[in-house]
């Protein structure tokens, strides 16, 4: 499935990204984490959550006593969507549209089938939108164990590590 995703042309984002960044981890796995989309570093590395958000995620997992190598980690969207910085060469993260999230969902569904997680953790609004619909509000529902979805016996949505990194100060973080 990962090999097939490398030539996906399901939306226009393949033109922007360097490569498809598919999920990685054991299949099956008890836990699956879904982020939004690869960032700048993930786009070059071809692996999810290896940049600053990944470092924070690793720290959070370690503090929770969870071994990342035992967890399947992926994104709702498999290509990096970005805009050029107004000045300089930096690539600035751009939020994927509903259409792009929907175009990528068949890959996420295949991953869910193969990983068959007991616990599915959705990191941020795009992951939640992909699987729970756009009316779902992470800010309101975060941390609540959801047992009514067919994707996994337990589904939990929470903040995306990047939104924690964007918080203005340590207290807010
Ligand atoms: N943010 C995400 O949502 N996914 C990544 O892989 C990296 C940053």
pLDDT at position 102, please? 98
pLDDT at position 103, please? 98
Using 50 as the pLDDT threshold, list the residues of the chain that sit under it: none
How far away, in angstroms, is 163 Cα from ligand 1 center?
11
Per-residue burial over 49-71, b if 16 or more Cβ lie within 10 Å, else e, is bbbebbebbbeebeeeebeeeeb
Ligand 1 atom at minimal distance to the Cα of residue 126: 3
Pocket-testing residue among 17, 18, 42, 44, ligand 1, by greatest number of atoms within 8 A of Cβ: 42
pLDDT at position 155, please? 98
Tell me the per-residue pLDDT of 56-99, one tens digit each, with 9 for 90 and over.
999 999 999 999 999 999 999 999 999 999 999 999 999 999 99
Report whether residue 96 contacts ligand 1, using a CB cutoff of 6 Å: no
Average of per-residue pLDDT values in the chain? 97
Report whether residue 74 contacts ligand 1, using a CB cutoff of 6 Å: no
Report whether residue 53 contacts ligand 1, using a CB cutoff of 6 Å: yes
pLDDT at position 173, please? 85
């Amino acid at each position: 499935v990962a090999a097939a995703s490398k030539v996906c042309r399901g939306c226009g984002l393949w033109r922007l990204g360097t490569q498809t960044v598919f999920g990685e981890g054991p299949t099956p796995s008890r836990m699956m984490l879904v982020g939004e989309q690869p960032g700048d570093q993930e786009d070059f590395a071809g692996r999810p959550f290896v940049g600053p958000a990944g470092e924070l995620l690793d720290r959070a997992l370690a503090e929770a006593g969870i071994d990342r190598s035992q967890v399947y980690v992926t994104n709702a969207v498999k290509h990096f969507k970005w805009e050029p910085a107004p000045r300089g060469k930096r690539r600035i993260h751009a939020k994927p549209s509903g259409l792009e999230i929907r175009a990528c969902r068949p890959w996420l569904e295949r991953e869910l089938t193969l990983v068959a997680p007991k616990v599915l953790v959705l990191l941020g609004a795009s992951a939640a939108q992909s699987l729970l619909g756009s009316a779902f509000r992470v800010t309101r529902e975060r941390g609540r164990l959801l047992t009514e979805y067919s994707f996994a016996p337990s589904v939990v949505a929470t903040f995306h590590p990047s939104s924690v990194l964007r918080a203005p100060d340590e207290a807010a973080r």
